[in-house]
Amino acid sequence: MRLIPHAFGLAAAALFATTTLCTPSFAADPAPATAAAPAKPADPNAVVATVNGEKITLSDVQTAMIFLPPQMRQLPPNLIFPMLVNQLADQKAILITAQKEGLDKKPETQQMMVNASNIALQNAWLSEQVMPHLNDDAVKQYYDQNYAGKPAEKEVHARHILVKTEAEANDVIKKLKAGADFGKLAAEVSTDKGSAQQNGGDLGWFKKTDMIPAFSDAAFAMKKGEISSTPVKSQYGYHVIQVLDTRTDPVPTLDAVRDKIRQALIQKYVREAVDKATNQVKIVRFDPNTGKPLADAPAPAAAPKK
């Protein structure tokens, strides 16, 4: 159990997790070119397969490449290329068969197609709003503002035993002073079963802001090897803390946090884009039981009378 809730980014940010700004290029012939005669860039409209006469082009393969997991994109092109062609051919065959059987005429299928189209349009708009800002300059600026020049941050490695009452916590402290094993006692009595059962209450390394204030203030005021002499109260109960070690975490390099910064910027830009869109429309929320506007949402200016 972590003692402070993790921050959750916008779900929309995940849309860009595997996006790349460059399009891979495949040669029509997977055989490597010689140094003396480099391969001529292939025509994106070159046909690489047909299914019932419907074309699959090199451009289709290049687009499919973008959505591969990063580890797959590292494979040699002569391995990825035939795999993607086969996959696209299979997809095309399914599509043709589904249309032949009239599945695209069913209302539920048409609704799914509309939903998919709407999602694609939303993603395309978000991409246009976000990707132009997601460049090296923005990453560097974020690093300079949030990492560079900041003092090294202290970290603590601690474990704890969490109980419901102060009396129970005092009893735990008494037993520890008498020589009881901290890990075994945590497994026996701690209500934080996540940390107690697996590793004797060990919470690992954390920064002061990673935990709730009451817990952090106590832990960061203690020395290596020290056990709290009085219970530490929080909204979760009463903690008995042991600090196992302390260290100073150096400022990370730009390369070490580049991906983390990109994700932070994506969340920021997506939020700004969503705000931009919602500020251009009027949103009214209704009670589904009464059909009336909710109290926290103003009624439409010219709402028709029922």
- Which CATH architecture describes the domain 153-249? Roll (3.10)
**Gap between the Cα atoms of 209 and 7, Å rounded:** 12
**How would residue 96 be classed by pLDDT, with cut points 50, 70 and 90?**
very high
Residue pair 190/196 in contact (Cβ under 8 Å)? The answer is: yes
The pLDDT of residue 135 is above 90: yes
Count the Cβ atoms, other than its own, within 10 Å of residue 48: 20
Q: Long-range contacts for 2-8 (Cβ within 8 Å, ≥24 apart)? A: 2/203, 2/210, 2/211, 3/203, 3/211, 3/212, 3/215, 3/234, 3/236, 4/210, 4/211, 4/212
Residues 6+ apart with CB under 8 A from 173: 227, 228, 229, 230, 231, 240
**How would residue 71 be classed by pLDDT, with cut points 50, 70 and 90?**
confident
Residue pointed to by tokens 């920021």: 268
Q: What does the pLDDT average to over 230-241?
A: 97
**How would residue 286 be classed by pLDDT, with cut points 50, 70 and 90?**
very high
Give the per-residue pLDDT at 41.
59
Q: What percent of the chain has pLDDT over 90?
A: 72
Average pLDDT taken over every residue of the chain: 85
Q: Which residues of 189-210 are buried (b: 16+ CB within 10 A; e: fewer)?
A: bbebeebbeeebbbbeebeeeb
The pLDDT of residue 11 is above 70: no
Give the per-residue pLDDT at 33.
34
Give the per-residue pLDDT at 238.
98
Q: What does the pLDDT average to over 92-106?
A: 96
Give bridge partners of residue 293 from the DSSP assignment.
286
- The residue ranking higher by pLDDT, 8 or 153, is 153
- From residue 107, alpha-carbon distances to 112, 181, 301 in Å are 9, 65, 35
The pLDDT of residue 182 is above 60: yes
Give the per-residue pLDDT at 302.
46
Domain ranges across the chain: 47-103, 106-150+252-269, 153-249
- The residue ranking higher by pLDDT, 48 or 300, is 48
Is the pTM higher than 0.85? The answer reads: no
Give the per-residue pLDDT at 296.
65
The pLDDT of residue 14 is above 50: no
- What six digits make up the tokens of 69? 């997991």
**How would residue 40 be classed by pLDDT, with cut points 50, 70 and 90?**
low
Give the per-residue pLDDT at 250.
87
**How would residue 205 be classed by pLDDT, with cut points 50, 70 and 90?**
very high
**Gap between the Cα atoms of 87 and 301, Å rounded:** 53
**How would residue 149 be classed by pLDDT, with cut points 50, 70 and 90?**
confident
Give the per-residue pLDDT at 29.
37
Give the per-residue pLDDT at 69.
87
Alpha-carbon radius of gyration of the chain: 29
- What six digits make up the tokens of 141? 């600026």
Please give the backbone phi and psi of residue 28, each rounded to the nearest 5 degrees, phi first: -60, -35
DSSP-assigned letters across all residues of 44-100? TT-EEEEETTEEEEHHHHHHHHHTS-HHHHTS-HHHHHHHHHHHHHHHHHHHHHHHH
